[in-house]
């Protein structure tokens, strides 16, 4: 079975590194990293060029999205992503929110979007939990 491609959007270089390392441990080889919501959206908007470059790995099957980021946070990204989906075929993308807080209100707000499929907590995420979450999508 082919592992899904993953886009990580997080302003923390350390968190991106740790997530990438965990994803590689579970067999994900196609990982793209962006450091804020704006650059993540720009990557998705550049559909034709990225599809040519990444082939079947674009658009990414899974987007791991940090909730709290400068410039464009996770919730603003979700709104813009919903708008972009009306113009570009991003139906394959499933978003997993990634937060330093176990705030039930944040989780409920994120899961209101039908393309948000999970909510992971930074610092508490084991490789096995990540494998389980990714495998469930």
Query: Where does the pLDDT of residue 3 fall: very low under 50, low under 70, confident under 90, or very high at 90 and above?
Result: low
Q: Report the alpha-carbon distance of residue 129 to residue 5 in Å, rounded.
A: 18
Q: Report the alpha-carbon distance of residue 93 to residue 49 in Å, rounded.
A: 17
Is this model's pTM higher than 0.85 or not?
A: yes
Domains and CATH numbers, the chain: 6-136 (3.40.50.2300)
Is the pLDDT score of 7 beyond 50?
yes
What is the reported pLDDT for 132?
A: 85
Is the pLDDT score of 130 beyond 90?
no
Q: Report the alpha-carbon distance of residue 87 to residue 127 in Å, rounded.
A: 35
* Phi then psi dihedrals of residue 65, to 5 deg: -120, 120
The chain-wide mean pLDDT, for the chain, equals 92
Residues in a beta bridge with 33:
8
* Phi then psi dihedrals of residue 72, to 5 deg: -140, 115
- Average of pLDDT values for 85-98? 93
Q: Report the alpha-carbon distance of residue 77 to residue 7 in Å, rounded.
A: 13
Is the pLDDT score of 2 beyond 80?
no
Residue pLDDT, tens place only, 8-45: 999 999 999 999 999 999 999 899 999 999 999 999 99
């Amino acid at each position: 079975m082919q592992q899904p491609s993953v886009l990580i959007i997080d302003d923390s270089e350390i968190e991106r590194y740790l997530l990438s390392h965990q994803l590689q441990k579970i067999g994900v080889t196609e990982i793209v990293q962006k450091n804020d919501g704006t650059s993540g959206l720009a990557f998705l908007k550049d559909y034709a060029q990225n599809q040519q470059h990444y082939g079947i790995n674009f658009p990414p099957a899974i987007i791991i999205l940090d909730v709290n980021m400068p410039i464009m946070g996770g919730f603003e990204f979700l709104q813009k992503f919903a708008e972009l989906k009306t113009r570009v075929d991003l139906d394959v993308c499933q978003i997993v929110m990634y937060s330093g807080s176990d705030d039930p209100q944040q989780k409920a707000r994120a899961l209101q979007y039908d393309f948000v499929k999970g909510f992971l907590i930074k610092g508490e995420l084991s490789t096995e939990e990540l494998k389980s979450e990714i495998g469930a999508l």
